[in-house]
Amino acid sequence: MRTLLSGLAVLVASGLPLAALAADDIPDLKGKWTIDSEGMAFAIPVGSGAEDVEVASVFVIDYQDGFKISGKESSQSATGTMIASDEEQFAGVIGFDNKTVSMVDHNGFRNCAILSDSKMECIYRHVATDRAVVTRNTWTRQDD
C-alpha cells in the first residue's frame, strides 16, 4: 500500500503524465458544420419590439492547434428583418474540460457544449450598432 501511494504521489507531483492525458482528450473540431439557430432580435435604437429569428449557416473550422480553433462562416440564410448575412471569421478555445467551446466573431460570442464528434449546442449573443440578437444553435458536422 505504501508503494502504491508513493508511486501515485510521484505521478501527481510530476504533472507530465496527467497533462499528456488531458492533451490527448482534446476533440478534433475541424471540418464543415451546418448550424440551425432560433432566437430573438430587436432593433437598435429600440423600435417595435423583439421578433423571432431563424438562421441557417455553414461554418468551416479550418484551423486547430490543440485547444485553439478558427474558421469562417461560409454562408447564411435567415428569416427576420434584423438579421444580416455577412460572412465573418471566428476564433475560439476548447474549455479545460474538453466538453465546452467559447467563440468570438466580429460582434458576437458563442458558448457551446460538445455533445459528440458530430454535434454541438451553442448559445449565441450578438450586439451590433443596429440590432441585438440571441439564439440557440445546433451544430452538425458534415461529411466531406
Residues 18, 10 contacting (CB under 8 angstroms): no
DSSP string, 73-107: EEEEEEESTT------EEEEEE-TTSSEEEEE-SS
1 occurs within a structural domain: no
Considering the entire predicted model, what is its pTM?
0.77
The reply to whether 63 falls in a domain is: yes
State the CATH number of the domain containing residue 86. Answer: 2.40.128.120
Nearest partner of 111 among 97, 99, 101, 126, judged by Cα: 101
Q: Which three cell numbers stand for residue 139?
A: 451544430
Reading the chain (144 residues) residue by residue, the pLDDT tens digits are 555 445 544 444 555 444 444 557 999 999 999 999 999 999 888 777 899 999 899 999 999 999 999 999 876 776 665 455 567 899 999 999 999 999 999 889 999 999 999 999 999 999 988 889 999 999 999 986
What 8-state DSSP symbol labels residue 142? Answer: P
Range of the domain at 91: 28-141
Q: How many domains does the chain have?
A: 1
Whether 102 is in a domain gets the answer: yes
Any domain includes 122: yes
* Residue found by looking up cell 454562408 in the block: 75
